[in-house]
Chain A
Amino acid sequence: MKDVVLAGYARSPFHFASKGALVKVRPDDLASAVVKGLVERTGVNPDDIEDLALGCAFPEGEQGFNMARLVVLMAGLPISVAGVTINRFCGSSMQAIHMAAGAIQMGAGEAYICAGVESMSRVPMSGFNPMPNAALYQTMPEAYMSMGETAENVGREYNISREEQEMFALDSQQKAVAAQSDGRLAGEIVPIQANGSNIDADGCMRPDTSLEGLAGLKPAFDEKGTVTAGTASPLTDGAAATLVCTAEYAAANNLAPLARIASFAVSGCQPETMGLGPIFSSRKALERAGISAGDLNVVEINEAFATQSIASIRDLELDPSTVNIDGGAIAIGHPLGATGARITGKAAQVLQREGGRWALSTQCIGGGQGIATVLEAV
């Protein structure tokens, strides 16, 4: 078996959809800028890249056609590099990493770019033409349940109070703001040119978040519920990219691996509590890596909502001090297709920075799924 490593991670700044600095940037432009940045920063020889796997949750409109192939052309990669657009909703770009790792193990190439993008400004959630199956909706309405409602369900099932969610959200904001001001985020960000200005920092964080402020917000999805805009990830524009290759290739080409991909898994779960997906997928991935949660030094869990993050941390018995050290999606943002690449690249980067052996990146997925990746230090 060949060792597969993550040998690079870069992303765009993340900004609020519809009002942030990236509203006017097309998603294919955003993705190609980040891919270009990754190639330059890693120094990988573009001719060696087999494929660009690009995750996107609503691949239509400007995210339509086969965006991955178009991004290859736009980023100026050699014509020999292929492109595939991947959709597993929020898990799309983590899935891109998994597919590349699997393909490499099959001997189908040595280096892949695994990326993801979502402009939630320019392609709305559910897309321009949402056309659910009426018969399925009749028999199983939860298949189309809104994400906010699933977050309320998890909160109720796990007895997670509003106050607990707000503490979690405040913590996420504070960690992200600290990471930003300590310069821990700047290194991963590829500046984006938009409207004549250079966008080089995240825009979703709210440094003035307070428990009082959070307590004043109205429930966003259920008038009797506990989930607010403050305890959910915001609609976000952004892109992220990783370089996945064999350890031998990295060594031979003077690339700097961040971590080895030890195992991964996906798992289905109840659609109405899709936020619990990380529990099931992480358990499988940990088992496949032959470790337990207690062995983890670094965890990146996507904070789609505070409720599902808290429930997952609780059930997986994760050590909170290892989780989302540089802040999570509640503060940083969650551009659906881009998040998997961000948190997996982030987990590898933090593992290298903080030391230790094992890292986990995991996230929940609409419709009832989870996805997880275990990384080992190199």
Chain B
Amino acid sequence: MQAIDKVAVIGAGVMGAGIAAQVANAGLPVVLLDIVPDGAKDRNVVASSALQKMLKTNPAPLMHPRNAKRIQVGNVEDHLQWLSDCDLVIEVVIEQLEIKQDLYRKIEQHRKPGSIVTSNTSTIPLAHLVDGLPKSFQRDFAITHFFNPPRYMRLLELVAGADTRPEAIATLRTFGDRLLGKSVVDCKDTPGFIANRIGILWLGAAVRFAFEIGLTVEEADAVIGKPMGIPKTGVFGLLDLVGIDLQPHVEQSMLATLPEGDLYREVHRPSAYIERMIEEGYIGRKGKGGFYRLNRSKGGKVKEARDLETGEYRPAVAPSLASVKAGRQGMRALVEHPDRGGRYAWRVLSHTLSYAAALVPQIADDVHAVDQAMKNGYAWKRGPFEMIDQLGPKWFAQQLAKDGLAVPPLLEQVGDGSFYRLEDGRLQYFGTDGTYHDVQRADGVLLLSDIKRGAERVAGNRSASLWDIGDEVLCLEFHSKMNSIDEGIVAMISKAIKIVPSKGYKALVIHNEGDNFSVGANIGLGLFAANIAAWLQITESVKQGQYAYKALKFAPFPVVGAPAGMALGGGCEVLLHCDALQAHAETYMGLVEVGVGLVPAWGGCKEMLLRWSTNPRHPKGPMPAVSKVFETVATATVAKSAEEAKSLLYLRPGDGITMNRDRLLAEAKAMALAMAKDYAPPEPRELQLPGSAGETAMTLVLNDFRRAGKATDHDVTVGKILAHVLAGGNTDPTATVSEDKLLTLERNAIVSLLKTPQTLDRIEHMLETGKPLRN
């Protein structure tokens, strides 16, 4: 593979800027160029304003604001010579063939010999892009199609041309996978590649049939969302998000390039209703509203939905369709349900899934590639072929035939079988050659789900399991609801600590493949115990958690945490007790307990104090570490990336960050094995804390915040109790405080807070609404 040490992105629109940001997130210098607008004083204005915008956009394209420094802005008139030391040039300009080709000719004059050039086109076939360009250019050219926003959407579609060097493709695949953290899917050079080809038909079908069958937008989204394993924006919410005005362009470009007889041509119907919305500026969230809008006119915020017949807005109502409830039993129960939701689900799925089945091998070599693309590009939980397997391929084919829809050859070919099967613990897919093939993982990818298919767990209960992940490393997996920490997990931590040394394991990795590593402690149990005034039991269960986490920290073997997604509250605290972390770049850690009127009490306060008080770059004395932890915890600060977590010391300086989630477990395991050589557990430490003086200093801050309207009364109550813990209780700055003493302070703090009705209100509110209560 070629080295990619520097990248150029040409075109600083939303996609170009987003791609440049992700390259910067990967640690590489990147040149970002755009045109010089007529009469511009600052000739770099387009690229430099894109860079400024990046710093303000939410969700942020940059994983840390300082990554912006890696992006050098310029323009295509003055700075094309900068391409001479770039190993990869990504073109992200307007979708017009002439403009792109003109740019390619200029790039060809300046680029480094043998460098790779790609286009992020979503509509123009590669063959057209390189038509008439020199052979040398064609050999180095490919399509890299990112999804918006490039930092967060995992799919990267990779398309090779007839003359593209295989080494260039291999380089792009590795670059996309390891550095940008993408799931790279090889596509054929066909319109819309994989994800948009299927996605546009799905959207078109879902909109059209909602009108035809007469569903409300809320009903349609309720059917499309959870029951189908599609993000809860469903179809209308998704259109609002991406912009309704974009749809006609996308549709037209597909119609212009799709082959005759393509199913999309049949499904597509121009909609006067939507045309009117666009004309009137109802183009979604970026406009006056879309199929939904937030009406703020009467002071509050009222979510409204648009009536699909009258075009009037009315307050949104939670739909109650029997089919959606039935859908909890599986997709078959959904599509077989006789109500309009069931009929709608069937019509959308029958078209979408049969379309996908008809397109293999036309758009991709195999069904697995199609499923990967839809899961990572459209955030579907299941790909089309996994959905067909759930419905039953044979039943699905029969129903298609009954409806007079074409049964694709691949579906006929799979017959009584399924598109996926397990063979000796290995996942296999049904190939176009009529036989099954192992699903191949890239080198260095280790998935817990693959391990689980082929093995029995070493130990486990309802909430957690222990798995042998090879090379004498044990993996602790959480699988409680939302991976919240409960007594089952605590028990399995204690069990792991016994099993690792007794059964000859060298190290423990804590990892799971849930959307979120852990959203925190199971506060529902705490609320229940507080309501029956079971204070002793509460103290006892907090103590058990503290002891389990402490035992992890001082265990005679290395413990490596490998989080991805949210790691909040108790889920953050378990990671703070690991010897090291290998975190996915998209890890969101935070001690958010104050949001439910509590303080971190499973050693979170203690561990953060230890980290800040030994940070050599922080001022000395009894207060600086305390102030910093107070600021972080009292405001429930959540790191918005693993890189940000390093700045907050949720991650230590030596902890690792993995860009590609699929590589996380393997890298954590390698780290654990490296640490296992000559491992010595840490020694307990003593801390010098300020005592009453520090508590008073923090109280002053709290009172000022209250007065300025930045804190509520209960924020102050919680803050004062937090201040008491962080100050080391009634200690004196000349004395020291042990780790155990801090745990006692944490425990007392949580019990006293659970005795306040305001904290119980916060917990109840969080359980009911998922949002914090400001009381």
Seen from chain A, the residues whose Cβ lies within 8 Å of a Cβ on chain B are 61, 126, 128-134, 137, 144, 146, 148-149, 219-223, 225
Q: In the bound complex, do residue A129 and residue B707 qualify as a contact, i.e. CB atoms below 8 Å apart?
A: no
Checking B619, B704, B733 against A131 with a beta-carbon cut-off of 8 angstroms, the contacting residue is B733
Least CB distance, A128 to chain B, in whole angstroms: 4
User: What are the 10 tightest A-B residue pairs by CB atom distance, in nearest-first order?
Assistant: A223-B709, A131-B693, A134-B692, A129-B621, A129-B623, A130-B697, A128-B619, A132-B696, A134-B696, A137-B696
Instruction: Name B136-159 residues within 8 Å CB distance of A.
Output: none
Q: How far is the CA of A133 from the CA of B694 in the complex (A)?
A: 9
Residue in contact with A132 in the complex, picked from B622, B700, B704, B707, CB distance below 8 Å: B700
- Given A61-B619, A148-B708, 19 new contacts (CB under 8 A): A126-B697, A128-B621, A128-B623, A129-B621, A130-B623, A131-B622, A131-B697, A131-B733, A132-B700, A144-B696, A146-B700, A146-B704, A149-B707, A219-B708, A221-B704, A222-B707, A222-B709, A223-B708, A223-B709
> Are B690 and A220 in touch, CB under 8 angstroms?
no
A220 to B705, CA, bound (A): 10
Question: Chain A residue with minimal CB distance to B619?
Answer: A128
A222, B704: Cα distance in complex, Å = 8
When chains A and B are docked, how far (Å) is the Cα of A130 from the Cα of B694?
Answer: 7
**Cβ of A21 to closest chain B Cβ, rounded Å:** 20
- In the bound complex, residues from chain B placing their C-beta under 8 Å from that of A128 are 619-621, 623-624
Pair A133/B693 contact, Cβ less than 8 Å:
yes
Q: Are B707 and A131 neighbours in the complex by a CB distance under 8 Å?
A: no
Chain B residue nearest to A136 (CB atoms) is B696
5 residue pairs bridging A and B, Cβ less than 8 Å apart: A130-B623, A131-B696, A132-B693, A133-B696, A219-B708
Interface of A is mostly: loop
| Chain B residues, Cβ within 8 Å of A144 | 696, 700
Cα distance A65–B695 in the bound complex, in angstroms: 27
In angstroms, Cα B696 to Cα A128, docked, is: 15
From known contacts A128-B619, A129-B624, A146-B700, infer whether A223 and B707 are also in contact, taking CB-CB under 8 Å: yes
Q: Which of B619, B696, B699 has the most CB of A within 10 A?
A: B696
Bound Cα distance from A223 to B706, whole angstroms: 9
Report chain B residues within 8 Å CB of A225. Answer: 707
- Which residue of A is nearest B690, CB measured? A131
Which residues of B (607-641) have their CB < 8 Å from a CB of A?
619-624
How many angstroms between the C-alpha atoms of A222 and B703 in the bound complex? 10
Within 8 A of A (CB), among B687-721: 690, 692-697, 699-700, 704, 707-709
Within 8 Å CB of A219, what residues of B?
A: 708-709
Cβ of A129: which chain B residues have Cβ within 8 Å of it? 619, 621-624, 690
User: What total of chain B residues lie within 8 Å of the partner, measured CB to CB?
Assistant: 20
Residues on A with beta carbons closer than 8 Å to the beta carbon of B621: 128-129
Q: Which residues of A contact B709 (CB under 8 A)?
A: 219, 222-223
Complex CA distance for A61 and B624, rounded to whole angstroms: 12
Instruction: List the interface of chain B (C-beta within 8 A of A).
Output: 619-624, 690, 692-697, 699-700, 704, 707-709, 733
In the assembled complex, the CB of B712 is this many whole angstroms from the nearest CB of chain A, namely 11
Known contacts: A128-B624, A146-B700, A223-B708. The answer to whether A134 contacts B693 by CB under 8 A is yes
Contacts of A146 in B (CB 8 A): 700, 704
Q: Report the bound CA distance from A157 to B690 in whole Å.
A: 36
A220 touches B708 (CB 8 A): yes
A221 (CB) vs chain B CBs: closest residue? B708
Interface centre among A134, A146, A222, A225 (most CB of B within 10 A): A134
CB distance from A153 to the nearest CB of B (A): 11
| Distance of A133 Cα from B709 Cα, bound (Å) | 26
Rounded to whole angstroms, the CA-CA distance of A131 and B621 in the bound complex is: 10
Question: Which of chain B's residues have a CB closer than 8 A to the CB of A134?
Answer: 692-693, 695-696
Q: How far is the CA of A126 from the CA of B619 in the complex (A)?
A: 14
Evaluate contact between B708 and A222: CB separation under 8 angstroms.
yes
Residues of chain B within 8 A (CB-CB) of A131 are 622-623, 690, 693-694, 696-697, 733
Question: A134 vs B700: C-alpha distance in the bound complex, in angstroms?
Answer: 11
A121 to chain B, nearest CB (A): 14
Q: Which residue of A lies closest to B693 (CB)?
A: A131
**CB nearest neighbor in A for B626:** A129
Nearest A residue to B618, CB-CB:
A128
**Smallest CB-CB separation from B710: which chain A residue?**
A223
Q: Which residues of A contact B707 (CB under 8 A)?
A: 149, 221-223, 225
Give complex CA distance A131, B693 in Å. 4
- With both chains docked as a complex, state the minimum distance between the C-beta of B69 and any C-beta of chain A, in angstroms: 16
Measured CB to CB, the closest approach of chain A to B504, in angstroms, equals 49
Give A224's nearest chain B residue, CB to CB.
Answer: B709
CB pair B708–A132 under 8 Å, yes or no, is: no
CA distance A222 to B692 in the complex (A): 26
* Given A219-B708, A221-B707, A137 and B623 contact (CB-CB distance below 8 Å): no
Q: Is the CB of B623 within 8 A of A132?
A: no
User: What residues of chain A lie closer than 8 Å to B693, measured between beta carbons?
Assistant: 131-134
Assembled-state Cα–Cα distance A221/B704 (Å): 7
The residue in chain A whose Cβ has the minimal distance to the Cβ of B733 is A131
Alpha-carbon separation in the docked complex, A61 to B619 (Å): 8
Task: Report how far A134 CA is from B695 CA in the complex, Å.
Answer: 8
Q: Please give, as numbers and ranges, the residues of chain B lying within 8 Å of A220 by CB-CB distance.
A: 708
Q: In the complex, what residues of B have CB within 8 A of residue A222's CB?
A: 707-709
A130 to B697, CA, bound (A): 6
CA distance A221 to B700 in the complex (A): 13
Least Cβ–Cβ distance between B424 and chain A, in angstroms: 63
Contacts of B694 in A (CB 8 A): 131
Distance in Å from the Cβ of A61 to the closest Cβ of chain B?
7
Chain B residues near A126 (CB, 8 Å)? Answer: 697
Query: How far apart are the CA atoms of A146 and B703 in the complex, in Å?
Result: 10
Cβ–Cβ contact A132 & B619, under 8 A: no
Distance in angstroms from B581 CB to nearest chain A CB is: 29
Residue of A nearest to B698 (CB): A130
A9→B334 CA distance, assembly (Å): 85
In the complex, what residues of B have CB within 8 A of residue A148's CB?
A: 704, 708
Determine how close the nearest CB of chain A comes to the CB of B223; give it in whole angstroms: 45
Residues of chain B lying within 8 A (CB to CB) of residue A223: 707-709
CB of A132 within 8 A of CB of B624, answer no
Q: Which residues of A contact B696 (CB under 8 A)?
A: 131-134, 137, 144
- Are A137 and B733 in touch, CB under 8 angstroms? no
Q: In the complex the two chains form, what is the Cα distance from A223 to B713 in whole Å?
A: 14
Distance between Cα atoms of A223 and B700 in the complex (Å): 17
The 8 Å CB contact of B699, one of A133, A137, A149, A221, is A137
Q: Which of B619, B623, B708, B709 has most chain A Cβ within 10 Å?
A: B708
Q: Distance (Å) between the CB of B700 and the closest chain A CB? A: 6
Closest A residue to B695 by CB, please name it: A134
Q: In the complex, A223→B699 CA distance in Å?
A: 18
Quote the shortest CB–CB distance from A175 to chain B (angstroms): 29
- Residues on A with C-beta less than 8 A from B620 are 128
Closest to A152 in B: B707
Q: In the complex, what residue of chain B is closest to A128 when comparing beta carbons?
A: B619
A144 to B708, CA, bound (A): 17
Residues of A close to B695: CB separation below 8 A: 134
| In the bound complex, CA of A220 to CA of B710 (Å) | 10
Q: How far is the CB of B648 from chain A (nearest CB, A)?
A: 19
In the complex, what distance in Å separates the CA atom of A148 from the CA atom of B620?
A: 28
* B-side contacts of A137, CB under 8 Å: 696, 699-700
Shortest beta-carbon distance from A33 to chain B in Å:
25
Q: What separation, in Å, do the CA atoms of A129 and B623 have in the docked complex?
A: 5
